[in-house]
Structure 1
Amino acid sequence: MLALRSLLFAVFLVIVTPPCAILGILAFPLPSSVRRRIVASWAPLVMWFAWHLLGIRYRVIGRENIPAGSAVIVSKHQSAWETMALQVIFPPLCFVFKRELLKVPFFGWGLALTSGIAIDRGAAKDALTQVVEQGQARLAEGFWVVVFPEGTRVELGATRRYQPGGARLAQQAQVPVVPVAHNAGEFWRRDTWLKTPGEIIVSIGPAIAPGDMDANEINLAARNWIEAEMRRLFPHHYAATIPQAAAS
């Protein structure tokens, strides 16, 4: 049954993704806000099918921490699920993503219409400049900006170095950073097409006002909250690392 549901969901994605991308392309002459709404309609549709077909539910804690104005979301990245869920949970937003995704047929074409920030991860300094410059423009337009600071999807219980791009953008634009922790990778794993039923918990932390902090301090504050929250909510993901940490 698990394999059948996962297969049906994959077929659904193949059927629904091209029309959404094509509609977005055909709407190119229309205002960008209209194009974006057309393309963004894909995310809640996929989320609905994930819930009712795959049995992947979700619960959000900390909604009261969402600020009124634009902000930079700094989130844990474990799967493709959160790239859709964040669009449903938060106000209109755009993502910082690797430029190679634009080459993916239909998905990449739709992504190009979402006002996202495509960066070349191989050019670290230029990529940081792109995040700050383009991110400030998106924030001025009223978008939120989502950054996955670890740069790629990480395994359950793993932590990679947090890149400072999101923190630098928040510091330069003087907007808050909203940290997000979740366990999407527990049910929507990065290394298999099989999806497992269960409840994903998305925890939204208190907004971090940049104030007089520099980018490194903001980045550290976001990292500390996310990693502490991950261990508080999902200690079973980190059980294998506890003896090593204690020994060190």
Structure 2
Amino acid sequence: MNFLRSVLHALWMLVTVIPWALIMLVASLRVRGIPLYWMAARWLGWAIDGARVLLGIQVRVTGMAHLPQGETSPAILLVKHQSTFETFLMPTLMPHPLAYVFKKELLQVPFFGWAMGRLDMIHIDRGQRTKAFGKVVAQGKRLLAQGIWIIMFPEGTRIPRGQAGVYKSGGTRLAVATGAPVIPVAVTSARCWPRKAFIKRPGVVDVSIGPLMPSEGRDPEELMREVEAWIEAEMRRLDPEAYVRTERDAPAAAAHS
């Protein structure tokens, strides 16, 4: 049953993304910036609605009161990364437009990447790290001044359920450079939508938005350790079963290595 549900959802995504991407490409000839972003977010909402109806994935959100309230109040979201689900979900939850920081290779993905290329995002060339970070800071300051929030996944890649990746300090370096506060976000998406898995499972994805962490005068590495500590502690609270299983299996895996 889960396989059939997953097939239906994949078809739903396919038949909606192609015409919507084409509509966005045409619309971008006259509409840019924030209005075009909300057009893109509409399709992401369809993807999440499809996951709810076709896959049986519900979303439970806590901590919305931690988000800044001002129209141009800046924020940098640092989000736990377990699957594609949260990349679709976050724009549907946040009251401000989001600018993702992503590798420029994603712009080559047919339709989805082409449409992303028309949005005001931050795409970087990882082969030019120093120059790339300078570009992120310059664009980040411009976007934050417009009330657009920056979103980054500090682990850099999707991490299996019950595990923690290496938290890189790029997000906190950007926060310190721009003076924007950091907001950590824990997401248990792999409970229903495992990384690199075609078959999804029904259930509840918890999204916990943490307290605002000021960045001014902070050391980026220290601030990232604080972000990591909060996110990983919250993940264990939200999905204890996954971490109990990982810790139980670790000794066995070490014995066979």
Q: Tell me which stretches of 4 or more aligned residues in structure 1 moved more than 3 Å.
A: 240-245
Query: Per-residue deviation at 1:241?
Result: 4.7
Distance 1:195 1:99 in 2: 28
* Alignment-derived partner of residue 138 in structure 1: 143
Query: Per-residue deviation at 1:172?
Result: 1.4
Whether the 8 Å CA contact 1:131–1:166 is kept in 2: the answer is no
* Alignment-derived partner of residue 74 in structure 1: 78
Amino acid at match of 1:236: E
Give unmatched runs, 5+ long, in structure 1. none
Deviates most, 228-237 or 194-203: 228-237
Name the TM-score, length of structure 2 as normaliser.
0.90
Name the TM-score, length of structure 1 as normaliser.
0.93
* Alignment-derived partner of residue 254 in structure 2: none
Distance 1:39 1:119 in 2: 21
Instruction: Give the match's secondary structure for 2:55.
Output: coil
Report Cα offsets for 1:94-144 as digits up to 9, x if no partner.
Answer: 111121111000000111122111112343333332322222221122100
1:61 and 2:65 correspond: no
2:104 pairs with one of 88, 99, 104: 99
Q: How many matched pairs?
A: 245
Amino acid at match of 1:27: A
Distance 1:116 1:191 in 2: 24
Distance 1:125 1:31 in 2: 29
* Alignment-derived partner of residue 89 in structure 1: 93
Give runs of aligned pairs for residues 5-24 of structure 1, distance below 5 A: 5-24=5-24
Provide closer, same or farther for how the CA distance between residues 80 and 132 of structure 1 changes in structure 2, counting only shifts above 3 A: same
Whether the 8 Å CA contact 2:81–2:159 is kept in 1: the answer is yes
Instruction: Give the match's secondary structure for 2:118.
Output: coil
Whether the 8 Å CA contact 1:98–1:120 is kept in 2: the answer is yes
Distance 1:122 1:76 in 2: 24
Give unmatched runs, 5+ long, in structure 2. 252-257
Instruction: Give the match's secondary structure for 1:188.
Output: coil
* Alignment-derived partner of residue 238 in structure 1: 243
1:119 pairs with one of 104, 124, 139: 124
